[in-house]
Homo-oligomer: A and B are copies of this chain.
Amino acid sequence: MQGKMWGGRFAKKINPDFEQFSKSIDYDYILARYDVFNSLIHVSALKNNAVLTAQEEKRITQALWRLFITIEKGRWKYNGSSEDIHTNIQNQIEEKIGKLGLKLHSLRSRNDQIAFDQQCYCCVQAEKIINSLNKIKKRLLALGKKYKNSSLIGYTHTRRAQVVAASDYFACFASMFDRDCQRIKGYRRRLSIEIGAGALAGNTISRISYRRAIDKWFIQVKQYIPELKKPTVSKNYLIQVSERDFVIEFLQNLALVQMHISRLAEDLIMHSTKEFNYFDLPEDFCTGSSLRPHKKNPDFLELLRGCTGEVYGSSFSLLTLLKSLPLTYNRDMQLDKKSLFPVVNTVYQELKMLEVFLPELRLNSAGIESELKDESIYATEIAEFLVNKGVPFKQAHQVVGKLIRYSEERKQKIIDLSQETLSEFHKDLKKQQIKKIVNHKKAVKAKQK
């Protein structure tokens, strides 16, 4: 049990399978940068509180800072034989500066460190996702601008309903991602990064000692990690070591992002089939088939849609994990990272790829134009025309319903029906005006408020 941060108490050696099972270094290593940041603050606070001398502080923080730089430069590797990231950093500092390193862990607890580290992680990743959502929103609005003169068939119940502006179609998805963006911004604003909770009961270091230490290190670290917020000193120690709602909320927010992604993916998959044929997918995001060489498969979109399972599952995993967990820290909580990290990574990757995919999306304008001649999609417009003539809507509705049925059964276009026939449905149905109504540009324009 060389290098464990505990162990004084036990006579018997730990079971090796359990030891392996209980290790978290294989996933929590990505917290290294935040763990070192935490240690930098802690060491300076110890000195401010006269637990360490200025000389001791200097030697330890120098070693820590060098480590921080190594990590930021991507040149650091974790030691797979460590129990967790805190032990790994602790051992590395001891290796560098010898016995003095033993003072690093004075008056603190891993319960406090891990909460701090994860708060940093969530804060930084949230910012990155906010930025990417913003870009996607812009890409979608740009598509809307590009196709500002195009109309699309809008669907309800996966059935042709009415004509809509292509720009509104893209703006709809832009709005979805914008809502996600605002939601995550609110989350990040409320998220606080805290230090000083000890194992659960705080420690004897004063708030002012901590604050001065935070002031000292935050500016330096932020140069490397600009997405960070400034840490604060913990007020209620119990909640700091007990709580993981901030992890779940992040995952819940991502579940909504993912829900929106899945709807976008579904629409694009369906609308790019040979049957719908409204969209042309960028070839570099499709794949072929090993057996059927003619296929242009929307694999990218399918994988996006498929990720929904993983992302949804994770917030439920963590809700389950925290269900009826007694105060304060319990070892169960270690496993929250196994759900958090991969899902944040998945969603972030999806978004980064969407940033590239979206501008390459093409509208098959010719095909759409021809489908816009389908006059059943103007039924509402005809009914509203009658309404404006003073016909109660429910009646207008029935008139047009019968008209459509008549037209379908006889396979005759409404605009080709004689005035006589039209008048049998309703006296106000005028052939000339019907012709004007059955026009996608007019249909869209009439509702632009």
Contact = CB atoms under 8 A, between A and B. Distances in A.
Contact of A172 (B239, B356, B377): B239
Contacts of A276: 275
Contacts of A186: 186, 190
A11 to B, nearest CB: 7
Q: Oligomeric state, in number of copies?
A: 4
**SS class, residues of chain A in contact with chain B:** helix
B392 A319 contact: no
A222 interface: no
Nearest to A301: B331
Interface stretch (A32-40, A202-210, A223-231): A202-210
A279 interface: no
Contacts of A292: 156, 161-162, 199, 379-380, 383
Given A10-B283, A190-B182, A305 B324 contact: yes
A260 interface: yes
A300 interface: yes
Interface string A144-177: 0000000000111111111110001101100110
Interface residues of A, number: 176
A111 interface: yes
Nearest to A101: B392
A79 interface: no
Given A316-B316, A318-B309, A320-B323, A6 B331 contact: no
Contacts of A190: 179, 182-183, 186
Interface string A241-279: 111010011001001100110110111011001111000
B159 A319 contact: no
Contact of A320 (B201, B260, B320, B383): B320
B284 A349 contact: no
Interface in A321-363: 321-336, 338-339, 349, 352-353, 356-357
Nearest to A83: B287
B239 A295 contact: no
A56 to B, nearest CB: 10
B387 A107 contact: yes
Nearest to A382: B293
Interface stretch (A118-126, A130-138, A393-401, A415-423): A393-401
Nearest to A6: B288
26 contacts: A9-B401, A11-B283, A15-B285, A18-B357, A22-B287, A102-B395, A156-B200, A156-B297, A156-B329, A156-B330, A157-B289, A158-B270, A161-B201, A161-B292, A169-B327, A172-B239, A176-B239, A183-B190, A199-B380, A206-B449, A245-B256, A252-B255, A259-B323, A262-B323, A263-B326, A309-B319
The 10 A-B residue pairs with the shortest CB-CB distance in the complex, in nearest-first order: A8-B401, A306-B332, A313-B317, A102-B392, A293-B401, A6-B288, A309-B321, A302-B331, A202-B447, A309-B317
Given A8-B399, A172-B328, A175-B239, 7 more contacts: A7-B288, A21-B349, A270-B270, A274-B374, A306-B333, A306-B334, A309-B316
